[in-house]
Amino acid sequence: MKAELLYEGKAKKVYRAADEEGKLVLSYKNDATALNGKKKESFTGKGRLNNEISSLVFSYLKKKGIASHFIKKLNDKEQLVYETNIIPLEVVVRNMATGSITKRLGFTEKTPFQPPLVELFYKNDELDDPLINDDHALRLSDISQDELQVIKKDALMINTVLQEMFQTINLILVDFKLEFGRLPDGTIVLSDEISPDTCRLWDRHTQVKMDKDVFRQGIGDLLDVYEEILNRLEATS
Ligand code: UDP
């Protein structure tokens, strides 16, 4: 199914799909990293959990009419996606203040953001993924002003759809990060992954953290928490 390794990131390996022009195989790793890779640990089973969860989330988005690079889950740890040229922006949507925005701008923890707040970060490990504004984004990528507005609008629409999805399994979507990529025909689509590595999810009743903050803050068992997310998602899909 897969041919040569194109790229290895912190959480995934990317291979060219054998005999399938324009398609890639994403292979989810067991590694968890935080603090831009300074904290790292491997958890047997994490790759499978994120692959399963991200596959369910992208399938749900597809049902709701949101285009993405996702084609299908191939096996436990791998999925088939369309090859895109990743736009080097991390688009973060926040429904509540926590994490970096509380430290950077002094928002009180759990301040609600309504309408939700959208932030752009430059995807660049050497620079520690700095927060940027629209003008920076236009100069640091090949997107146009119009495309940037569409990306931000899409991110907010995806937020609404995901909030609804997670609400049905008693999770609050606190914030999350999206990445977008360009297909060969120039269209921009949602790419990368959507999982507890990239979303903050709190239990609706207890507000217990059920995402990578468990690892970042050393406050629980990452595998147990991710398994619980998958179980809840499977129960409704
Ligand atoms: N996030 C991510 N990858 C990154 C940075 C952030 O997936 O490289 C996600 C993170 O899991 C959270 C949201 O984006 O759901 C906002 O993260 P924040 O800016 O608060 O950064 P952090 O506090 O995690 O450093």
Q: pLDDT tens-digit profile of 86-139?
A: 999 999 999 999 999 999 999 999 999 999 999 999 999 999 999 999 999 999
- For the cut 90, the answer to whether the pLDDT of residue 42 exceeds it is yes
Q: What is the dihedral angle through the alpha carbons of 15, 143, 130, 34, rounded to the nearest 10 degrees?
A: -20
What would the two tokens of residue 230 be?
């998958």
Q: What pLDDT, on a 0 to 100 scale, did the predictor assign at position 66?
A: 98
Q: What is the mean pLDDT of residues 133-149?
A: 98
Residue of 38, 89, 92, 124 to mutate, ligand 1, most atoms within 8 A of C-beta: 92
Atom of ligand 1 nearest to the CA of 103: 23
Q: How far is the CA of 138 from the centre of ligand 1 (A)?
A: 22
Instruction: List Cβ neighbours of 114 (8 Å cut-off, separation of 6 or more).
Output: 95
- For the cut 80, the answer to whether the pLDDT of residue 237 exceeds it is no
Q: What pLDDT, on a 0 to 100 scale, did the predictor assign at position 1?
A: 80
Q: What is the mean pLDDT of residues 19-38?
A: 94
Q: How far is CA 200 from CA 127, 129, 149, 180, 221, in A?
A: 23, 18, 24, 19, 15
Q: What pLDDT, on a 0 to 100 scale, did the predictor assign at position 37?
A: 84
Return the residue whose CA atom lies nearest to atom 5 of ligand 1.
177
Ligand 1 site, CB within 6 A: 90, 92, 99-101, 129, 175-177, 198-200, 212
Q: How far is the CA of 22 from the centre of ligand 1 (A)?
A: 29
Atom of ligand 1 nearest to the CA of 199: 15
Residue of 31, 36, 57, 100 to mutate, ligand 1, most atoms within 8 A of C-beta: 100
Q: What pLDDT, on a 0 to 100 scale, did the predictor assign at position 204?
A: 97
